[in-house]
Amino acid sequence: MMKKNIGYVLACFTVLGWMACNKMTEDSQLDTEDVLKMEMEDQDILTEEEQTAADCNYDFTQFIASCALVTESSSSYPKTITIDYGTGCVDARGRTKKGKIIVEVSGDMRLEGNTRTLTFEDFYVNNINIQGSRSAENIGLNASGNMVIKVNGNITASNGEYARSRTFERYREWIAGINTCEISDDEFMITGTGTVTGRRGVGIPHEITEAIHVKPGVCNYPLSGKVDVGNERRGVVINFGEGTCDNVAEVYSKRRNKTFQIDLDTRRVIE
């Protein structure tokens, strides 16, 4: 787990200095939390998205939730896969989900040219209502010989008090596990850009400047990678670490030249 610099912490305990050292500006904190929440909500449905991607003949509810009802419109492609969490069901990552994820699949996503689209019907993760859609296309091999999935989305997340929305374009490089049906050996490197409209009502641009490394079958959090939020003078850089599976990321405030920590479970800055 990443730790705060000791010298920085001691400096913050000077008289009248504590509040200034311990706080980000309100706008930066809101923007950071809004972008990070959308990022982690994307992780919350990654398992469903990936498990419906391959032509594998097994019960993948073991990776999603044993209480989910999964139905397929056909035994062959193209087909519609419906994942129904009912009125409330705890998934394999400890998130309570309800409602439906509907997946339209043209073919095995390990093959170039095939597509997949996710939509949501009264779908919630904990108390967050997820609406919108995301589509993916296998665009073939990159220069490293790895399969790349291009993902576009327009997602809104709301909890009754406020709503956040995001449009994005991602490139998910499948660096391991593509030849098996097991999620435990899957690894991805994710790049791309997007814009979040958060609680302040303004568009917040963000770009993945160092690819986000995820292993969805073994870790609930990004292992590494950086996301640059805002512009070169104002905003933050979210750093997911150097490969350790933990629930803490670092946030560097450009305007204040300070580093803070953030809890990936609560998706809030650690005070």
The average pLDDT across 180-208 equals: 89
Are 86 and 67 in contact by the 8 Å Cβ rule? The answer is yes
- Rounded CA-CA distance 70/66 in Å is 10
Alpha-carbon gap, residue 30 to 26, rounded angstroms: 6
Overall average pLDDT of the 161-170 stretch: 91
Contact yes or no for 227/207 (Cβ under 8 A)? yes
Q: At 21, is the pLDDT very low, low, confident or very high (cuts 50, 70, 90)?
A: very low
> Which of 101, 132, 134 has the alpha carbon at shortest distance from 115?
134
Buried b (16+ CB within 10 A) or exposed e, 170-180: bbbbbbebbee
Under 8 Å between Cβ of 153 and 191: no
Q: Do the beta carbons of residue 116 and residue 60 sit within 8 Å?
A: no
Q: What is the pLDDT of residue 160?
A: 82
In the chain, the percentage of residues whose pLDDT exceeds 90 is: 51
d(CA 83, CA 107): 18
Q: Find, among 41, 38, 101, 40, the residue nearest to 65 by Cα.
A: 101
Q: Which residue has the tokens 């609560």?
A: 266
Taking only the tens place, the pLDDT of each residue in 205-252 is: 999 999 999 998 888 899 999 999 988 778 889 999 999 999 999 999
pLDDT of 17 strictly over 70: no
The number of CA neighbours under 13 Å toward the Cβ of 71 is 7
Residues 29-75 have pLDDT tens digits of 778 788 887 887 777 777 777 766 666 666 667 778 889 998 999 98
pTM of the model: 0.82
Q: Is the pLDDT of residue 10 over 60?
A: no
Specify whether the CB–CB gap between 50 and 76 falls below 8 A: no
Mean pLDDT of 81-86: 94
Answer whether 188's CB lies under 8 Å from 19's CB: no
Residue 102 tokens read as 């509907």
Please provide the average confidence, as pLDDT, over all residues in the chain. 84
Instruction: Evaluate the CA torsion angle 128, 151, 267, 20 in order and state its sign.
Output: negative
136 in Cβ contact with 49 (< 8 Å) = yes
